[in-house]
Structure 1
Amino acid sequence: MSLRQRLAQLARRLQEPQKVARFQRLCGVEALPRRSAAPATDPREDETAEAPLAGDARRREPQPGASAGPQPPGNDRNQCPAKPGGGGGAPNGVRNGLATELGPASPPRVGALRRNSLTGEEGELAHVSNWPLYYLFCFGTELGNELFYILFFPFWIWNLDALVGRRLVVIWVLVMYLGQCTKDIIRWPRPASPPVVKLEVFYNSEYSMPSTHAMSGTAIPISMILLTYGRWQYPLLCGLILIPCWCSLVCLSRIYMGMHSILDIIAGFLYTILILAIFYPFVDLIDDFNQTHKYAPLIIIGLHLALGIFSFTLDTWSTSRGDTAEILGSGAGIACGSHVSHNVGLMLDPSLDILPLALPPITVTMFGKAILRILIGMVFVLIVRDIMKRITIPLACKIFSIPCDDIRKARQHMEVELPYRYITYGMVGFSITFLVPYLFFFIGIS
């Protein structure tokens, strides 16, 4: 057997869903027995009871005018764990008012089912016996979600080091964009369920290879250490410990959640290392260009918009397209905001003469200002996001004559989703690097 054949055989083994299911069982996650609906007198109730059990394949709705592509992923049934104490759910496995049978060994842990607000997809209950691991991996998977990004990058820019924050965003945008586009080119489905238990529904309509969670979970800690070591005084050992802990937590969480095979994770990790090896030397140049070039805002907006349009042509509709536009919009907004801030002298980087920077002693005043900046800044950012969302979706629907009675369906059109995500998160990024720092300067907490 040649080396190529051995590698192909190894790749097939690493892609097997049985290995994902085995890891889940090792961590205390098991699928509950298939539920059968109780007899219903009303035929409509019977249909309602059978709907989540029929295993209907949920398909992406193709964009009007788009050519039919390969069968997309996401037609597996998702499963979601029960929570201890039964908070927010119906007791004893009751769902939508219909009694279901969970089997004699079913645990009394039943909770609300998580729902994907964009696709309407809903998960199912699963038996989780190791709750500390469940919450640990939930935290790990959140390190690659929007909530983390919208807190992490502003915290760096407002409280720690704006230069490091900006350059982290440049790397994050590049890595995530290449990862999302590669997914839509390779088009490998998510691990099959069963045997895998799907603990997450939010990204199930996307393709699987490579894992963009693994990519961001690799790129961010490595880049953070590369950007800060030598600029700040701290033990290198701390950074060398942080990288494997962060990376392994995010990567293992995606296998635990049933979203990726082992091969997806390894490919995402190696792909990120390759991207960093090629593009990291140019990060300083890109950041300097964004801040100082006369026509930087026009080039930034045009380039990111063109990349977004290109990514939308790679495949039919899925949640990944909106995520890609969101990433590009955020990157463009942060870059444009940093350009304006630099030109008005609002957020100037420290002189190279005083490097490396010493970690200042943490005082009550410093801690209080940091908390105040986060609270005020995040409220401002969330208000901007909500306002832009309310404006852009109806406006795009009106301009392109798309019915907006059903927002979920309207957003499956490129003409709505791309401007909504790009403009909304472009303004969010612009607020993070210009509007909010200006507000801090105005009220005296900069």
Structure 2
Amino acid sequence: MSLRQRLAALLLCLRDPQKVASFQRLCGVEEPRRPAGAPEETGGSDPERAAIPEGGGSKLRACGARNGVRNGLPEATATATAGELESHKTLQNRVPGLRRNSLTGEEGEAYGVRNWPLFYLFSLGTELGNELFYITFFPFWIWNLDALVGRRLVIMWVLVMYLGQCAKDVIRWPRPASPPVVKLEVFYNSEYSMPSTHAMSGTAIPLTLVLLTYGRWQYPLMYGLVIATCWCSLVCLSRIYLGMHSILDIIAGFLYAIFILAVFYPYVELIDNFNQIYKYSPLIIISLHLALGIFSFTLDTWSTSRGDTAEILGSGAGIACGSHVAYHIGLTSEPPLDTLPLTIPSITVTHFGKVMLRILIGMVFLMLMRIVMKKITIPLACKVFGIKSDDVRKARQYMEVELTYRYITYGMVGFSITFLVPCLFFFIGLS
């Protein structure tokens, strides 16, 4: 067998859904009993799966680490009782679904869990690559720890996630087939699989943090590398555990993130300085991010990929523009170079209280901004582009509406993180 044939065989082995199913069983996931003749899911961006109506399959609702999936089962299966589908043991170990996909109405197939510590561990791991984590982690760094590190971390995150989403829609490989894989989470099931953007994010964020903070802050390098390794491993393994990616998807995502860091990290300081200092940088930032969202890729059918990309680009543009305004009005200041490396301050009751107040007040402000902008932009976009807004879920799947409301909404959230919320902190004495 030639080297090329061996490599092809290795890639096929790493992409085999049976490997994912074996890992799930090893970690204590109990496969549901599927009725004879239930169709096998091929994964990927299936238009029929993306168009599942809302409300069906409530008796099959099960726990995903984040949400559930119907998995393409027929209606007769969806309305069957849990006792007809599961053993008594699986029923005892089943937990209710945490959230369904509000855009597609998809819900999850029933499954059981025998190893609860691993279930909660991997649920935490996958959340390290979801919106809730991003919208709390980045502001926490910018408001409480180091605004410079926070800004530059966002720059690298936007690059990694954008290029990863584009690669998915160019390669167009489907998700691991179910069966044999048990889909514990399928909020992103309508997206393609290769590479894993969770793995990319879980690799890029901790490694970028180490690169940005070592030498600027005093701490042992080994601590940073150990934390980065654990972080990356947890996120990557969680995606296999949840049945969302093959081993090959994870490896490709990890290597792709490393490649992007190697190419772009040397320029992150230049990009950050340009965003803050150059007079016309907001116009360039907004135009560039908007153009990337519109012209970078097209979808053969609707998926969450396009909206997520618009969120990423909008957030990055908003944070960059907010930092530009904050810099020019003197709201931000950097420590003198002769004070570097910075020492980690001791935690006092006063310090801890201020941190908690910033997080509480800031997050409430961001959530209100997100809700208000969403309520305004969706009907406005529908009116501008002549799209019926009776069915909001369907209207949000039109490119004109989706890109407009996501870009503007998350652009304002990003702008709030680096400008509006710091202004609020300044006026109430929490700077």
TM-score (norm 2): 0.90
CA distance in structure 2 between the aligned counterparts of 1:395 and 1:235, rounded to whole angstroms: 52
Q: Deviations over 1:312-360 (max 9, x none)?
A: 5254321011000000000000000000000001011212221111111
Give the alignment partner of residue 391 of structure 1, picking from 372, 376, 382.
Answer: 376
Contact 1:73 1:206 in 2 (8 A): no
Q: Deviations over 1:41-63 (max 9, x none)?
A: xxxxxxxxx9xx7779999698x
CA distance in structure 1 between the aligned counterparts of 2:168 and 2:51, rounded to whole angstroms: 14
1:112 counterpart residue number:
96
Deviation at 1:440, TM superposition (A): 0.1
CA distance in structure 2 between the aligned counterparts of 1:267 and 1:251, rounded to whole angstroms: 11
Contact 1:334 1:429 in 2 (8 A): yes
CA RMSD in angstroms, aligned pairs only: 2.6
Give the alignment partner of residue 270 of structure 1, picking from 238, 243, 255.
Answer: 255
Contact 1:396 1:416 in 2 (8 A): yes
Contact 2:43 2:189 in 1 (8 A): no
- Relative distance call for 1:180 and 1:199 in structure 2 (3 A) is same
Deviation at 1:103, TM superposition (A): 4.3
Contact 1:27 1:130 in 2 (8 A): yes
Deviation at 1:151, TM superposition (A): 0.4
Q: Which letter maps to 2:191? A: E
Deviation at 1:386, TM superposition (A): 0.3
1:415 counterpart residue number:
400
Q: Deviations over 1:84-140 (max 9, x none)?
A: xxxxxxxxxx98795651344443234333411111111111011001100000000
Q: Which letter maps to 2:107? A: E
Deviation at 1:311, TM superposition (A): 3.4
Matched, 1:289 2:274: yes
1:323 counterpart residue number:
308
- Relative distance call for 1:128 and 1:104 in structure 2 (3 A) is closer
Q: Deviations over 1:225-268 (max 9, x none)?
A: 00000000011111011111000000000000000000000000
Deviation at 1:2, TM superposition (A): 2.5
Matched, 1:30 2:30: yes
1:4 counterpart residue number:
4
Contact 1:199 1:258 in 2 (8 A): yes
- Relative distance call for 1:412 and 1:222 in structure 2 (3 A) is same
Give the alignment partner of residue 84 of structure 2, picking from 88, 101, 105.
Answer: 101
Give the alignment partner of residue 403 of structure 1, picking from 367, 388, 395.
Answer: 388
2:423 partner SS: helix
1:431 counterpart residue number:
416
CA distance in structure 2 between the aligned counterparts of 1:208 and 1:298, rounded to whole angstroms: 34
1:137 partner SS: helix
Contact 2:44 2:175 in 1 (8 A): no
Matched, 1:129 2:120: no
1:208 partner SS: coil
1:125 partner SS: coil
Matched, 1:172 2:157: yes
Alignment of 1:287-366 (within 5 A): 287-366=272-351
Contact 2:168 2:194 in 1 (8 A): yes
Identify which range, 233-242 or 321-330, moves more after superposition.
233-242
Q: Deviations over 1:3-43 (max 9, x none)?
A: 2221111111000000000000000002111259xxxxxxx
CA distance in structure 2 between the aligned counterparts of 1:55 and 1:19, rounded to whole angstroms: 17
2:112 partner SS: strand
Q: Which letter maps to 2:17? A: P
Gaps of 5+ in 2: 65-76
2:111 partner SS: strand
2:364 counterpart residue number:
379
CA distance in structure 1 between the aligned counterparts of 2:2 and 2:50, rounded to whole angstroms: 32
2:352 counterpart residue number:
367
Q: Which letter maps to 1:365? A: T
Aligned residues: percent identity?
72
CA distance in structure 1 between the aligned counterparts of 2:383 and 2:86, rounded to whole angstroms: 51
- Relative distance call for 1:315 and 1:348 in structure 2 (3 A) is farther
- Relative distance call for 1:104 and 1:291 in structure 2 (3 A) is closer
- Relative distance call for 1:211 and 1:103 in structure 2 (3 A) is closer
TM-score (norm 1): 0.87
2:20 counterpart residue number:
20
Gaps of 5+ in 1: 37-49, 63-70, 84-93
CA distance in structure 1 between the aligned counterparts of 2:115 and 2:349, rounded to whole angstroms: 39
Contact 1:188 1:208 in 2 (8 A): yes
Q: Which letter maps to 1:330? A: S
CA distance in structure 1 between the aligned counterparts of 2:347 and 2:173, rounded to whole angstroms: 48
CA distance in structure 1 between the aligned counterparts of 2:93 and 2:35, rounded to whole angstroms: 16
Identify which range, 143-152 or 400-409, moves more after superposition.
400-409
Alignment of 1:141-152 (within 5 A): 141-152=126-137
2:104 partner SS: coil
Q: Which letter maps to 2:103? A: L
Contact 2:50 2:303 in 1 (8 A): no
2:91 partner SS: coil
CA distance in structure 1 between the aligned counterparts of 2:155 and 2:207, rounded to whole angstroms: 14
Contact 2:191 2:303 in 1 (8 A): yes
Contact 1:233 1:358 in 2 (8 A): yes
2:279 partner SS: coil
Q: Which letter maps to 1:154? A: P
